[in-house]
Amino acid sequence: MNSQNKYKLKGNESFNIREGWLNKGMRAIQDQPDIFSSGNAADVLGVGTKMVKAIRFWLLASSLAVERINRNARRTLHCTMNLGDIVMEYDRYFEDIFTLWIIHYNIVKRDDMCTVWSLFFNNFSADEFTKSKMVDSMAEEFKKYFESTRSVYNSIEDDCLSILKMYNVVSSEENIDPEDNTSSPFSELGLIKRSDTDKSKYLKLRPLFDKLDRHVVLYIMVDNLASDRNSVSFDALINDPNNVGKVLNLDRNLLNEYLDQLKQDGYITVNRTAGLDMVYFNDVPTPAEVLRAYYNQVEREM
């Protein structure tokens, strides 16, 4: 967690990212950077006032946008150069699941804005759990990192419910109306599912191999790599906060499959000698370079 002891609860106004919201918000700030400081944001975006706040929150929490203060002391939002601009160039309608994985990672690592998201993916190890167990565990984890003079349990509970709604795989048996745009596209990642045998329980899942591209793993690896390093241990990849094991819920076997792919691509060399498994980068790409490498590959294959 962050060393500055900053946290945020219920920053999303209890609204998860809905289909079309990110594209709508990104286009809006490209056309009018001060849209969220103006009085016409609800009309332009076609949503209610609380939803306007939620869209603004998610643009910032996902690192798609950054806030600045202009000459008139007015708050403005701008696409980030190393993520927002690239996504809008290649996948402006957020149709590629790769983009959702990248945003998921950037949300999880923003412990200052998405505190409970960060705690859940980094600190919660249970593969099967009830909502009450999740809330109690998150409240306990929160106490380890943050001091608060107010009661935060209810806010943590609201954020836990948001996570469950945001990532839960929607079963065909739930009869969700396809026209209902309140469901989150992040359910497509398949990281959380309600138990088939006990509806009071949820399962924390490993991603399906064909739904998680190796470039997502590479992006997270290099984003976590210290600037003076060109190697990382398997243990760090699996156990370090915000690294691939935690964010993607990968075990060693699944991680090895992705590393083998990245090795074939020429990105890395894997050394499994002396009982210490290490990954060495042949040439460390920047996260932005990984994004462009993926999107350009997709364009070539189309």
pTM above 0.75, yes or no: yes
Query: Of 116, 159, 78, 123, which is closest to residue 246 (Cα–Cα)?
Result: 123
pLDDT, residue 149, reads 63
Asked if pLDDT for residue 5 goes beyond 90, the answer is no
Q: Is 208 exposed, middle or buried (0-12, 13-18, 19+ CB in 10 A)?
A: exposed
Q: Give residue 175's pLDDT.
A: 45
Work out the number of other CB atoms within 10 angstroms of the CB of residue 201. Answer: 15
Asked if residue 107 lies in contact with residue 62, where contact means CB atoms within 8 angstroms, the answer is: yes
How does pLDDT run across 200-231, given as a tens digit for each residue?
A: 999 999 999 999 999 999 999 999 999 999 99
3-state secondary structure at position 287: helix
Q: What is the helix (H) or strand (E) element at residue 76, kind and residue range?
A: strand 75-79
- Three-state DSSP state, 75: strand
What average pLDDT does range 260-264 have in this prediction? Answer: 97
